[in-house]
Amino acid sequence: MLELAILGLLQEAPMHGYELRKELTAKLGAIRAAISYGSLYPTLRRLQAAGWITEAAETPATAEEVPALTSRRGRVVYTITAEGKERFAQLIAQTGPETYGDTGFGVHFAFFSRTDRATRLRILEGRRRTIEERREGLRDMLGRAAERLDAYTLELQRHGLEACEREVRWLEELIANERSGRAPTVPNDGTAGGRREDNSPPPPGESRKERP
Amino acid sequence: MLELAILGLLQEAPMHGYELRKELTAKLGAIRAAISYGSLYPTLRRLQAAGWITEAAETPATAEEVPALTSRRGRVVYTITAEGKERFAQLIAQTGPETYGDTGFGVHFAFFSRTDRATRLRILEGRRRTIEERREGLRDMLGRAAERLDAYTLELQRHGLEACEREVRWLEELIANERSGRAPTVPNDGTAGGRREDNSPPPPGESRKERP
DNA sequence: GGTGCGATGTATCGGTCCGATACATCGCGG
DNA sequence: CCGCGATGTATCGGACCGATACATCGCACC
């Protein structure tokens, strides 16, 4: 997952580690807290070894200017290679069970603007399927096994169920939009394009975890 | 996290691995997919080494009955020890940053019926704080840095923001309930006398089950 | 009467990712 | 002049996952 995200970001511009982490956090802020350096740097090393990216110490301009008495500290800038772009295209197009999990889906979705429509639809539908199954599991739990669970656990399930229902609705909308040709939901500019009660209850924290 | 969950479940009844996983999945189904055996068994080993639980091969009844020509296969039943119960109480009471993350909060919440009210409130408020911060981050993103992000990423943020707002409202409700004395729906006083099948619903005769 | 198949059951291995930690530089306000 | 928060690179131990292997049981299907 991290590999995909890094490759995707470096495709927009070369960056050094710290910057990469910030951009990563910005782009994926909705689905996961913050990428740890403990995963970022080893992954960068791995990508470089595989030839998907190259790393280069930042050059201190022309060396003429500011002769670097304060020897410029080692900032390492990472750049994606042609093979890396290929790799990204391959990763973004291939879907599997992990694509539909909370984290996997979030990362794929964040790069939908670099994904072709057919793949987008495949992912959205797979995700919907996954959430529908989770929803059915929770429904069963709340129906059949309810008396075996305490009130708090029940409340947690109820909350989770609601989140599932809400996400399915969201996905349905996105799927309809994809089919009808437009990009994601048209940003509601207040009035015109409107859905009526749009800013009522959304799904609670369900599309992340994961950190589960 | 797994340690806490296992200790909590074994407090209700001794179980073997497979059963434990099923119960775990049932109790935490709303917040995480399913616990992997790759984490379950090593953790059980660890807990046993620490003395929090004991493991025992299931006895084939009285050995008199059914002389086990089909030698009963090795089912291992895990039982919590007195030290384990102490450990659980300690883990459930101590709160830290990881208590407010998605997974950590979910696990703690699932055992709220074994948590005292003060701790419950501390956790709910800490969680609210955490989500509020995430929400503010997303709001800023959607406000200031919106033009830097593509439509899909924006939509993801919007969805995440809605989720945060909704969860804050949910937490607020729970906090209000805690303060007013009631549990989520049914009062439940989780005192120290660890017994399985905690008291069935006292007065409020409305064990409603909703089928949407 | 066999045969396959899904549920039950225990267990390991490689790999991803996180949290804590360490260390160094820079600009800024007190 | 000193601390302090932001920038910046990097490692280490540990938690957890996904794939895999293997064995038993009951049951439906032919």
Tell me the CA distances in angstroms from A167 to A196, B3, B73, B81, B171, one per residue in order: 18, 30, 44, 42, 19
- What is the token pair recorded at B4? 């806490």
Q: Is B98 on the interface with A (CB under 8 A)?
A: no
**Cα–Cα dist A15/A164, whole Å:** 37
Q: Which residue is nearest to nucleotide C18 (CA to C1')?
A: A36
Q: Is B147 on the interface with A (CB under 8 A)?
A: no
Phi, psi dihedral angles at B53 (to 5 degrees): -135, 160
Q: What pLDDT tens digit does each residue of chain A (212 aa) get? A: 999 999 999 999 999 999 999 999 999 999 998 999 999 999 999 999 999 999 998 765 544 444 444 445 578 999 999 999 999 999 999 999 999 999 999 999 999 999 999 999 999 999 999 999 999 999 998 988 778 889 999 999 999 999 999 999 999 999 999 998 776 655 544 334 334 433 333 333 344 443 33
Answer yes or no: are the C-beta atoms of A203 and A170 closer than 8 Å.
yes
Q: Which residue has 């945060």 as its token pair?
A: B164
- What is the token pair recorded at A83? 């093979």
Residue type, B97: P
State the pLDDT at residue B118.
95
State the pLDDT at residue B200.
37
Spatial neighbors of B201 by CB under 8 A, at least 6 apart, are: B186, B207
**Cα–Cα dist B129/A202, whole Å:** 19
Selected residue of A153, A165, A182 to mutate for chain B interface (largest B Cβ count, 10 A): A153
How many CB pairs (< 8 A) connect A and B? 152
Cβ under 8 Å to B: A residues 60-79: none
Answer yes or no: are the C-beta atoms of B116 and B189 closer than 8 Å.
no
Interatomic CA–C1' length for residue A35 and nucleotide C20, angstroms: 14
DSSP tag of A191: S
Q: Label residues A3-19 b or e (16+ Cβ within 10 Å = b).
A: bbbbbbbbeeebbbbee
For residue A161, what is the nearest residue in chain B, using CA coordinates? Answer: B30
Alpha-carbon torsion (B92, B97, B100, B102), positive or negative: negative
What is the tens place of the pLDDT at every residue in B151-183? 999 999 999 999 999 999 999 999 999 998 776
pTM tops 0.95: no
Q: Which residue has 């940003």 as its token pair?
A: A187
